[in-house]
Structure 1
Amino acid sequence: MEAFAELLDALTYTRSRNGKLALIAAYLQRTPDPDRGWALAGLTNSLDFPAVKSAVIRQLVVERVDPVLFALSRDYVGDTAETVSLLWPAPALPGTPPTVAEAVALLSAMTRATVYGALPALLDRLDANGRYALLKLATGAMRNGVSTRLAKIAFAQAFDVPVTDVEGYWHGQHPPYAALFDWATGRAPPPHSAGAPQFRPFMLAHPIGDTPVDLDLYAVEWKWDGIRAQIVHGDETRIYSRSGDDISHSFPELLGALDTPVVLDGELLVRGAFQGGEEGGAASFNALQQRLNRKTVSRRMLEESSAFVRLFDLLLIGDEDLRPLPWHARRARLEQFITGLDSARFDLSAIVPATSIEALAAIRDQARDQAIEGVMLKRRDSPYLAGRPMGLWYKWKRDPLLVDCVLMYAQRGNGRRSSYYSDFTFGCWDGDPDAGAELLPVGKSYSGFTDAELKWLDHHVRTHTVNRFGPVRETDRSLVLEIAFDSIHASKRHKSGLAMRFPRIHRIRADKLPREADRIETLRALVAAEA
């Protein structure tokens, strides 16, 4: 456990992507099985210990230290695991530190009845760094900049194997990934069984930027605002997200829709009110979001937000791998294949007609359908290559919407931002501010600003606080922020009745008076315009 704790500590203070890769690769090389497999699962948030919850951890620590001290320390540090690891009283006779595998076994065995005795006993066997690592492992809240993709690249780097093979073989394996490590170290053949739904790495696009593009060489499709999905049918059907996560359980209505061995690439959407035009029928991302990460889906949700996939590529069919073929050949095969599919579950992403970049820019700017966020440009002769190859696919997102809001609340961030107020809630006026209208929260953002702007905002929050609610500070409504967002939708979950998609701070408008900020009616008009 000590080596894993050292790894987490080093990852926290390493900002370089290559630095993180080197740290993880070195750990995987020198750590024996099964510890390295369990550590890899922890880094990718692939472990779940139902009895070990944040509320349990907080209750245990306030039984041992002054509750006010813990609350103040947690507010200052900004991370529960770090606060508990530092405040936890050292035992009179510390025990032998567990291995990662032993810690996982003990955490897995804990129940709601035994956790209050078993977890303290385990924490007492560790020093502060070890307690921090254990609590992060138990709660799955690593927040150290390590994504599943980064972990896979580090694995490939550690054992000098292709990352595309790692991504393909990863799925269907379970922690501690013994078969995966046996293959990577040359002790066994690849961990893949015939007929199993195997994930294939996605082909991704570059932002177009100022790249000159000859439209005679490229086909144009809409960039749909759903989630990229790969549908694989072998002995059974599996649905994978862009990161390779298995999301099949969230969309059960799609699992019986295929009967041919096939791998399809498309955008997963849910049905909504007809939007107009031949591409109608897709609801906003806000509607899709209600379906994500659910272990069970209600009958009502299946009826009101039925899922379907808008297809744009065919990777494999039967034993034939179509990925080496040019895009136009794969497209022709897809158009033929889709005629045999259930139209309620699958449809085809249409080609967007454009004769010039200028004409395409006009089409893109006018596309404010709730399920469209821009256009994709794909070379007609491009094979399907894993990763983000240069010059083949481009994405051209529509310009963001902008609105002026007033800063209302702030909360400290996590990790390297734990000392700064970096999570900002902002609102718009529900009527005329000069006539006493109130501000209603319309969004929350923790991105879009530079490090220098973060320091400025943190200072503003600290010097303009009028109230405190635990870790949250209420400000005096004196600062206007220009907020950029991709789209806005009606929402019953928020007091304002609105939900922004990807809000971020575009500019700090210290030059504007708060009463000059936008009103709720302006945002509602945007909802109506997008619908």
Structure 2
Amino acid sequence: MRAFARLLERLAFTPRRSIKTATLVQYFAVTPDPDRGYALAALTGDLDLRAVRPGLLRDLAAARIDAELFALSYDFVGDLAETIALAWPEGAAVKADLALSQAVAELRDTGRAGLPSLVAQRLDGMGPSERYAYLKLATGGLRVGVSARLARLAVAAHGALPVEEVEEIWHGLTPPYMDLFAWTEGGAKPAAAARAPFRPVMLSTAADADTLAALDPADFAAEWKWDGVRVQAVADGSVRRLYTRTGQDISVAFPDIIERLAFDGVIDAELLIRHDDRVAPFGDLQQRLNRKRVSAPLLARHPAALRAYDLLLWQGRDLRALSFADRRAALEGAIAGLAEPRIDLSPLLPFDSWSALAALRAAPPEPVIEGVMIKHRASPYLAGRIKGHWFKWKRDPMTVDAVLMYAQRGHGKRSGYYSDFTFGLWDGDALVPVGKAYFGFTDAELRALDRFVRSHTTDRFGPVRAVEPLKVLEIAFEGLNRSNRHKSGVAMRFPRIARIRDDKPAADADRIETLRALLPPEGP
């Protein structure tokens, strides 16, 4: 656990991706199997353990730590695992190092009744850094700024391998990945155990009018950017799968799509909920995501559909090296040949200048359209975010002026600051919470907001502080959905703080009616 704890500390306090990657490469080089494989699985979210719940940890803390001390510490630190790791009484002597693989085996195999005594025993034999790493491993709450793709990039770098090859076999591998690491060190390439594997997707870069002005519009094609989920639909013989852009298999949640993948190939598409010819708001799609079982009524209320963007493989032929124009021609033929009503083609937009495309972008035919995708006609299908090939030109975000209502401490490097902010709009004479934001501000603005929270606190609810309704924040967001789970009846997509409006009194902030007027029309 000590080596794993040092790894997490270095990753958490290293902002640069290149240094994080180098740190992981070094860890893989000096750490034996199976520990390095379990560390990789923990970082990628593929480690399936018997989850240790927060309630169990609170009960352990209550038995070992003074209640007032723990409450004050938790209020300051803002993270349960970190608070316990720091405040846990030191044992008589720190015991021998616990192998990561042993910790994984214990947490995976110990029954619910035995977990409290196991966790307490292990915490007694560890120092603060190891306790923190152990608790994060046990709860599955790793937040060290490492995405699953960055971890796979580090594996590829460790073996001087193309990351695309690592990603194409990833879904046929299981922790602790001993055959994968054997390959990185000169052994045979693992045969993908899974049919219909995920292929790494091509990603876009953000664009604006200034970016596009330097480009020739005749070299590019454009499509609508729909507010759905980017997916990869794969059919390989009798095996059919639906993946997200990160490679998560969501097939079980969309049986109505799986049964329609009557082809041999890989289609890059947008997953949508569609009623006849109308695309439903993202909130309808969200009701079906991450489900292990979908009821017949839910399938009927929210029928899924695919809007095809690109074609990677078709009938045994790999098309990724072809130009976008050639792949598009093949895609049009493939979709026409399928004749499947729930799988249609993303239409190309007619434009001859960037100003003409800007006019289309400003007035899309449906409210769920987020902007336009712009693709170089000569571009092959390249895995990753390759500049100059694909661009995403999103519509200007919606904004409202809201009042800061509550604040909570952040995690990791932000654990000493109030950085998670709940904001509200006026409903009559009362403020109604409408969302929460924890990014969009500079470090200097974060410090200023933290000072405001500390000096204007009116009440405390555990780690949350209520503040005087004085601070106005301009909130930008990408979309809005109806929600029965929120008191306001609305849920924002990707809210963030665009500006701190110290020039505006709280009484002049927006009203809830203003936000509700932005809602898309209700479905049938």
Q: TM-score, normalised by structure 1?
A: 0.94
Q: State the AA in 1 paired with 2:460.
A: R
* Partner SS state of residue 112, structure 2: coil
- Distance in 2, Cα, partners of 1:418 & 1:291: 34
- Distance in 2, Cα, partners of 1:37 & 1:137: 14
Cα displacement string for residues 83-104 of structure 1 (whole angstroms, at most 9, x for unaligned residues): 1112222333543322111110
Aligned pair partner of 1:411 in 392, 408, 420: 408
Q: 1:427 to 1:101 in 2, by over 3 A?
A: same
CA contact (8 A) 2:90 2:124 kept: yes
- Distance in 1, Cα, partners of 2:301 & 2:322: 39
By how many angstroms is 1:144 displaced? 0.9
By how many angstroms is 1:67 displaced? 2.2
Match of 2:250 in 1: 247
By how many angstroms is 1:465 displaced? 1.0
Match of 2:219 in 1: 217
Match of 1:277 in 2: none
* Partner SS state of residue 63, structure 1: helix
Q: State the AA in 1 paired with 2:483.
A: S
CA contact (8 A) 2:198 2:247 kept: yes
Match of 2:60 in 1: 60
Q: State the AA in 2 paired with 1:7.
A: L
By how many angstroms is 1:189 displaced? 2.5
Match of 1:485 in 2: 477
Match of 1:264 in 2: 267
By how many angstroms is 1:529 displaced? 7.2
By how many angstroms is 1:328 displaced? 1.6
Q: State the AA in 1 paired with 2:34.
A: P
Match of 2:10 in 1: 10
Match of 2:76 in 1: 76
Match of 1:197 in 2: 196
By how many angstroms is 1:298 displaced? 2.8
Q: Please, which moves more after superposition, 148-157 or 366-375?
A: 366-375
Q: Please, which moves more after superposition, 516-525 or 86-95?
A: 86-95
Residue 383 (str. 1) matches residue 380 (str. 2): yes
- Distance in 1, Cα, partners of 2:505 & 2:499: 14
Q: Please, which moves more after superposition, 93-102 or 110-119?
A: 93-102
Count residues with an aligned counterpart: 519
Aligned pair partner of 1:229 in 228, 231, 249: 231
Residue 474 (str. 1) matches residue 473 (str. 2): no
Q: State the AA in 2 paired with 1:347.
A: D
Cα displacement string for residues 190-230 of structure 1 (whole angstroms, at most 9, x for unaligned residues): 3325x711111111111123222322221110011111111
Residue 309 (str. 1) matches residue 312 (str. 2): no
Identity %: 52
CA contact (8 A) 1:268 1:308 kept: yes
Q: Please, which moves more after superposition, 384-393 or 116-125?
A: 116-125
* Partner SS state of residue 419, structure 1: coil
Match of 1:506 in 2: 498
Q: TM-score, normalised by structure 2?
A: 0.95
RMSD, aligned α-carbons: 1.8
Cα displacement string for residues 68-116 of structure 1 (whole angstroms, at most 9, x for unaligned residues): 2222211111111111112222333543322111110000012222112
- Distance in 2, Cα, partners of 1:390 & 1:229: 21
- Distance in 2, Cα, partners of 1:346 & 1:529: 24
By how many angstroms is 1:480 displaced? 0.9
By how many angstroms is 1:12 displaced? 1.6
Match of 1:150 in 2: 150
Q: 1:107 to 1:342 in 2, by over 3 A?
A: farther
Structure 2: any 5+ residue segments left out of the alignment? Answer: none
Cα displacement string for residues 160-198 of structure 1 (whole angstroms, at most 9, x for unaligned residues): 1111111112112111112211222121223325x7111
- Distance in 2, Cα, partners of 1:266 & 1:45: 25
- Distance in 2, Cα, partners of 1:44 & 1:81: 20
Q: 1:529 to 1:399 in 2, by over 3 A?
A: farther
- Distance in 1, Cα, partners of 2:116 & 2:147: 31
Q: 1:350 to 1:33 in 2, by over 3 A?
A: same
Q: State the AA in 1 paired with 2:377.
A: R
- Distance in 1, Cα, partners of 2:325 & 2:254: 30
Alignment of 1:97-496 (within 5 A): 97-193=97-193, 196-209=195-208, 210-211=210-211, 212-234=214-236, 235-272=238-275, 280-341=277-338, 343-367=340-364, 369-431=366-428, 437-496=429-488
- Distance in 2, Cα, partners of 1:178 & 1:249: 28
- Distance in 1, Cα, partners of 2:15 & 2:326: 43
CA contact (8 A) 2:367 2:520 kept: no
CA contact (8 A) 1:29 1:159 kept: no
